[in-house]
């Protein structure tokens, strides 16, 4: 398969607009389990911040995103010089690949498709490290380290999307030490880390000053339910941050997104409630899925669950279409490298919404 076809073949969840166009429905009528967004929705404080900023859109946004970087620095305990603000985390993944131009990129599979798309767009060759469902898609760090010779960049999702697997800081530090020996850049995607109640056991942020080839990618759109605004950031060495800043669109983060980010990071009540709500809902949904015949859900760490439906007699396309007829969208995972038409992914929503999903999924499986 050539690169153009390979890139064109990827799709994402959350495309409620396509569903509405194809079926003639209203976006507000859909239960979207295909995108992993905080089920609490937009915080009232963030909604107010956006409303109060509307009159300011006659001005260009701050090129430096100074207030946003200060908020990120304070909340995540990192230096502002390490921060590059992005139009979502994906922009920064592409920008990073464009700047560093790796020749060979190692990607555990399955994982977020934009790692591959960004690498291919930068002219890199891809080497997959295929994870095994028999091991619940766990990443064996020693095994992954053994694949580093000859690699220029390795991507690791933590938590990984769509499998939900989660690595500890000590595991990642082993990878970083091996990557230093191999001369490889390690890109750790922590886009779902905010959903973790105790992230200190898992985040690489404290290792930034120790490992100059560590890059952390972080999305703010999932946890704060603002995917339509697009907001994320990267954490790198100050030198690389300067290169990223120089290479990006100067106004890449719009004024409303910057205002939303500042307010979101200050809303401790929303943050606490979100973690507690998702933590309880994911366990309840996981238990409900395990009780359904013909499927095997993989234990979640955050707000999404990968499901093997191979024993149900249906494939991912069939299940997705049947649920879409009931105004429920799920993620068909058949286009992930390392997965097949036997896999789907569902987001974690509120308890009452999850009951609706379970009821319809049981009907479809029958």
Give the domain ranges of the chain: 3-32+269-365, 44-266
pLDDT band for position 2 (cuts 50, 70, 90):
very low
pLDDT in tens, 107-133: 999 999 999 999 999 999 999 999 999
Backbone angles phi, psi at 105, to 5 degrees: -120, 130
pLDDT band for position 12 (cuts 50, 70, 90):
low
CB 72 within 8 A of CB 82: no
At residue 13, does pLDDT exceed 90? no
Share of the chain above pLDDT 90, in %: 91
Full 3-state SS string of 254-315: CHHHHHHHHHHHHCHHHHHHHHHHHHHHHHHHHHHHHCCCCCEECCCCCCEEEEECHHHCCC
pLDDT in tens, 159-203: 999 999 999 999 999 999 999 999 999 999 999 999 999 899 999
At residue 6, does pLDDT exceed 90? no
- Report pLDDT for 313: 94
- Report pLDDT for 328: 95
- Mean pLDDT to the nearest integer, 281-301: 97
pLDDT band for position 3 (cuts 50, 70, 90):
very low
pLDDT in tens, 17-38: 554 556 556 655 689 999 999 9
At residue 1, does pLDDT exceed 60? no
- Mean pLDDT to the nearest integer, 202-220: 97
Which fold, 44-266?
Answer: 3.40.640
At residue 53, does pLDDT exceed 60? yes
pLDDT band for position 276 (cuts 50, 70, 90):
very high
- Report pLDDT for 202: 98
Which fold, 3-32+269-365?
Answer: 3.90.1150
- Report pLDDT for 85: 98
CB 323 within 8 A of CB 332: no
Task: Report CA-CA distances (Å) from 77 to 83, 191, 207.
Answer: 11, 16, 12
Q: Output the average pLDDT for the chain.
A: 93
pLDDT in tens, 257-275: 999 999 999 999 999 999 9
pTM: 0.94
- Mean pLDDT to the nearest integer, 315-336: 94
At residue 333, does pLDDT exceed 90? yes
Three-class SS of residue 321? helix
At residue 70, does pLDDT exceed 80? yes
């Amino acid at each position: 398969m050539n690169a153009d076809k390979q890139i064109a073949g990827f799709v994402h969840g959350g495309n409620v607009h396509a569903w509405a166009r194809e079926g003639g429905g209203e976006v507000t009528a859909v239960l979207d389990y295909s995108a992993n967004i905080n089920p609490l929705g937009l915080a009232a404080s963030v909604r107010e911040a956006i409303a109060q900023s509307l009159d300011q859109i006659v001005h260009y946004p701050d090129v430096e995103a100074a207030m946003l970087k200060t908020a990120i620095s304070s909340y995540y305990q990192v230096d502002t010089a390490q921060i590059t603000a992005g139009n979502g985390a994906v922009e920064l993944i592409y920008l990073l690949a464009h700047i560093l131009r790796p020749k060979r990129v190692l990607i555990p599979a399955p994982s977020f498709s934009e790692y591959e798309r960004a690498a291919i767009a930068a002219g890199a060759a891809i080497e997959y490290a295929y994870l095994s469902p028999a091991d619940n898609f766990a990443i064996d760090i020693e095994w992954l380290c053994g694949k580093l010779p000859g690699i220029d960049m390795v991507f690791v999702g933590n938590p990984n999307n769509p499998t939900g697997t989660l690595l500890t800081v000590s595991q990642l530090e082993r990878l970083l030490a091996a990557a230093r020996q191999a001369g490889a850049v390690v890109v750790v995607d922590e886009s779902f880390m905010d959903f973790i109640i105790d992230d200190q056991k898992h985040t690489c942020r404290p290792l930034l000053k120790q490992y100059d080839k560590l890059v952390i990618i972080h999305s703010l759109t999932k946890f704060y339910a603002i995917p339509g605004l697009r907001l994320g950031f990267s954490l790198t060495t100050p030198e690389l941050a300067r290169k990223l800043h120089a290479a990006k669109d100067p106004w890449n983060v719009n004024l409303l997104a910057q205002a939303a980010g500042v307010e979101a990071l200050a809303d401790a009540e929303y943050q606490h409630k979100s973690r507690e709500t998702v933590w309880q809902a994911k366990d309840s949904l996981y238990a409900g899925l395990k009780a359904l015949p013909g499927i095997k859900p993989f234990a979640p760490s955050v707000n999404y669950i990968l499901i093997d439906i191979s024993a149900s007699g249906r494939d991912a396309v069939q299940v997705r279409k049947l649920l879409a007829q009931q105004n429920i969208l799920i993620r068909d995972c058949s286009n992930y490298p390392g997965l097949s038409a036997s896999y789907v992914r569902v987001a974690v929503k509120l308890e009452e919404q999850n009951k609706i999903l379970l009821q319809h999924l049981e009907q479809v499986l029958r």
